[in-house]
């Protein structure tokens, strides 16, 4: 558990600023080299794989924006993870929270009669609904923990499966969100949400599809960082995380703190789902969350309690994912290999962090 327990807020921040930045960089380079070796070993041309990767990450404004949008989803889940982890809670339910966020956002956008409302409400309301749904999904695990002592790792994980299958049901059943079946070939997906409910693009240009989720996420990052380091609430989370018994004795409510922490994490997951749906995909499909919740979880884990760490890790993963997808499409590198390389990066980075900590202690 030590990897999860980096309670001290400045620990990871320190490591970002120090020359120790070099070590994680080397770790990434090392993992990339091993990845290239693997690519070469299966007979794919390395230069064309690299070209495809670069093309998919920074090759076009569209690629850059798509990568950043991915990073946003990872980041939101990661912030939630870090926040809950401050109370020593491990939220592995990002995937399900994204799914319920997406479902609710779709439902409200399509059937909530919000399109005609003024002041941006057409997209704000579905967003808020997704936040509430995600929070409820997270709070459910918290209530189980407080009332019955259920381990939140288990409950959030299982709730995740429920969320993902709920989504499957929603897009399969015409009584729920599936679009009206005109022919037998109608895909199991929702209708496209009305234009008014789609998130406004920052540039107004679909070739650079950054949407207002980006500034919102930046604000959230700052809020989470400040909450954790400067507020009494952050201190309470930490107290409950480090010693729930002593915190309780000192009058800090364990139940309220745990519910707040997991609900917040869930809310951020729900928001990530809303951004994905309202900002990029516009229709709800099976496989909508496609592992983003788990990538976000890894970003949160790697960040070791630091919000800046989450930003760095999510950007890394966002771009990696985009590049990987392009490698798969253009250079015919198997998906499995892309996943292997991602895993390698995670392991070398985690190892690098351990190394740095040992080194700093001496």
Partner 1 sequence: MIETIEPGGADLEPLLSLQAITKRFGNFAALSDVSLDLRPGEIHCILGENGAGKSTLCNVIFGVHRPDAGAMRYRGAAFQPSGPADSLSQGIAMVHQHFSLVPDMTVVDNVLLGRERGVLNRKDCAKQLEKLAIDYGLPLDPYAKIEDISVGERQRVEIVKCLIRDPSLFVLDEPTAVLLPDEISALLDVCRRVASSGRAVVLVTHKLAEIKKIADRVTVLRGGRVVASSATPASDIDRLVRAMIQGNVEALDTSAASILGIESVKHVSHDRAANVTKTEALQISGLTVKDYQGVTRLDNFTLTVDRGEIVGVAGVEGNGQSELTAVLAGMSLPTEGRIHLGDTELTARSPKEITAAGVGIVPEDRHAVGCVTGMSLAENIYLNRLDEFTRFGFLRRTSLESEAAEMMQRFDVRARGPGVVFSSLSGGNQQKAVLAREITLPGLVCLVAAQPTRGLDVGAVAAVYSHIRAACARGVAILLVSSELDELLTVADRIVVLYRGRIMGSCVADPARREQIGAMMAGQAQ
CB 269 within 8 A of CB 137: yes
Stretch that binds partner 1, among 40-48, 121-129, 232-240, 259-267 (CB under 8 A): 232-240
Using DSSP's 3-state secondary structure scheme, residue 361 falls into helix
**Phi, psi (degrees; rounded to nearest 5) at 251:** 85, 15
Give me the torsion for CA of 308, 310, 316, 321, rounded to 10°: -160
**Cα–Cα–Cα angle for 92, 294, 355, rounded to 5 degrees:** 90
Number of neighbouring beta carbons within 10 Å of residue 48: 15
Helix (H, G, I), strand (E, B) or coil at 319: helix
Structure tokens at 243: 């010693």
Between residues 8 and 113, which has the closer beta carbon with respect to partner 1?
A: 8
> Does 149 participate in binding partner 1 (rule CB under 8 A)?
no
Q: Which stretch binds partner 1 (CB under 8 A): 58-66, 245-253, 283-291, 329-337?
A: 245-253
Residue 67 CA to residue 316 CA, distance in Å, equals 9
By CB under 8 A, tell whether 249 contacts partner 1: yes
Q: Does 223 bind partner 1 (CB under 8 A)?
A: no
Rounded Cα distance, 272 and 195, in Å: 19
Q: Which CB, 172 or 253, lies closer to partner 1?
A: 253
Q: Give strand pairing partners of 189.
A: 285
Dist. CA 172–CA 187, nearest whole Å: 9
Binding partner 1 (rule: CB under 8 A), the pick from 70, 86, 211, 238 is 238
Q: Is residue 7 close enough to count as binding partner 1 by CB under 8 A?
A: yes
The single residue among 243, 339, 343, 354 that binds partner 1, judged by CB under 8 A, is 243
Q: Which residues pair with 211 in a beta bridge?
A: 201
Alpha-carbon span 98 to 134, nearest angstrom: 7
**283 binds partner 1, rule: CB under 8 A:** no
For partner 1, the closer CB: 113 or 230: 230
Give the integer Cα–Cα distance in Å for 138 and 156. 7
Q: Do 189 and 286 form a contact (C-beta atoms < 8 A)?
A: yes
Q: Mark the segment that binds partner 1 (CB under 8 A) among 29-37, 124-132, 227-235, 328-336.
A: 227-235
250: contact with partner 1 by CB under 8 A: yes
Residue span binding partner 1 (CB under 8 A) among the ranges 21-29, 49-57, 237-245, 332-340: 237-245
Q: By CB under 8 A, tell whether 18 contacts partner 1.
A: no
CA atoms of 149 and 254, how far apart (whole Å): 12
Q: How many residues bind partner 1 (CB under 8 A)?
A: 22
Report the interhelical angle of 9-17 vs 307-330 (nearest 10°): 60
Minimum distance between the CB of residue 6 and partner 1, rounded to whole angstroms?
Answer: 11
Q: How far is the CB of 251 from partner 1 (least distance, A)?
A: 3
- Distance of closest approach, residue 252 Cβ to partner 1, in angstroms: 8
Start-to-end CA distance of the chain, whole Å, equals: 22
Examine residue 233 and tell whether it contacts partner 1 (CB under 8 A): yes
Residue 134 CB, shortest distance to partner 1, in Å, is 23
Rg (the chain; Cα; Å): 21
Segment interacting with partner 1 (CB under 8 A) among 69-77, 244-252, 301-309, 331-339: 244-252
Q: Is 251 in the site for partner 1 (CB under 8 A)?
A: yes
Q: Does 304 bind partner 1 (CB under 8 A)?
A: no
Q: State which of positions 158-197 bind partner 1 (CB under 8 A).
A: none
Stretch of 63-71, 116-124, 131-139, 250-258 contacting partner 1, by CB under 8 A: 250-258
Work out how close the CB of 150 gets to partner 1 at its nearest, in angstroms, rounded to a whole number: 18
Does position 232 interact with partner 1 (CB under 8 A)? The reply is: yes
Using rule CB under 8 A, residue 70 touches partner 1: no
Q: How far apart are CA 156 and CA 160, in angstroms?
A: 6
Residues that bind partner 1 (CB under 8 A): 7-8, 230-236, 238-239, 242-243, 245-253
């Amino acid at each position: 558990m030590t990897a999860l327990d980096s309670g001290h807020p400045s620990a990871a921040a320190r490591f970002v600023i120090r020359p120790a930045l070099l070590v994680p960089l080397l770790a990434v380079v090392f993992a990339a080299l091993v990845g290239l070796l693997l690519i070469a070993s299966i007979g794919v041309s390395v230069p064309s794989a690299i070209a495809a990767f670069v093309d998919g990450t920074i090759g076009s404004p569209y690629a850059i924006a798509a990568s950043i949008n991915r990073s946003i989803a990872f980041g939101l889940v990661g912030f939630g993870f870090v926040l809950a982890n401050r109370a020593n809670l491990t939220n592995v339910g990002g995937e399900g929270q994204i799914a319920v966020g997406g479902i609710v956002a779709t439902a409200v956008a399509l059937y909530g009669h919000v399109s005609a409302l003024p002041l941006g409400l057409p997209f704000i309301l579905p967003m808020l609904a997704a936040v509430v749904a995600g929070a409820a999904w997270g709070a459910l695990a918290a209530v189980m923990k407080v009332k019955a002592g259920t381990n939140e790792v288990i409950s959030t994980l299982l709730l995740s499966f429920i969320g993902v299958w709920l989504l499957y049901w929603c897009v399969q059943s015409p009584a729920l969100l599936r679009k009206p079946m005109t022919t037998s070939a109608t895909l199991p997906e929702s209708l496209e949400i009305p234009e008014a409910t789609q998130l406004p693009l920052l540039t107004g240009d679909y070739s650079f599809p950054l949407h207002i989720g980006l500034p919102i996420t930046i604000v959230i990052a700052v809020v989470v960082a400040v909450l954790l380091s400067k507020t009494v609430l952050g201190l309470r989370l930490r107290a409950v995380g480090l010693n729930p018994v002593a915190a309780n004795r000192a009058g800090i409510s364990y139940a309220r703190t745990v519910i707040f922490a997991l609900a917040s994490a869930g809310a951020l997951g729900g928001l990530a789902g809303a951004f994905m749906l309202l900002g990029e995909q516009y229709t709800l499909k099976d496989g909508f969350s496609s592992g983003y919740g788990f990538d976000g979880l890894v970003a949160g884990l790697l960040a070791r309690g630091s919000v800046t760490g989450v930003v760095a890790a999510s950007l890394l993963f966002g771009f990696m994912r985009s590049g990987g997808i392009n490698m798969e499409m253009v250079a015919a590198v198997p998906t499995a290999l892309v996943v292997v390389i991602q895993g390698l990066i995670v392991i070398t980075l985690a190892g690098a962090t351990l190394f740095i900590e040992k080194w700093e202690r001496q």
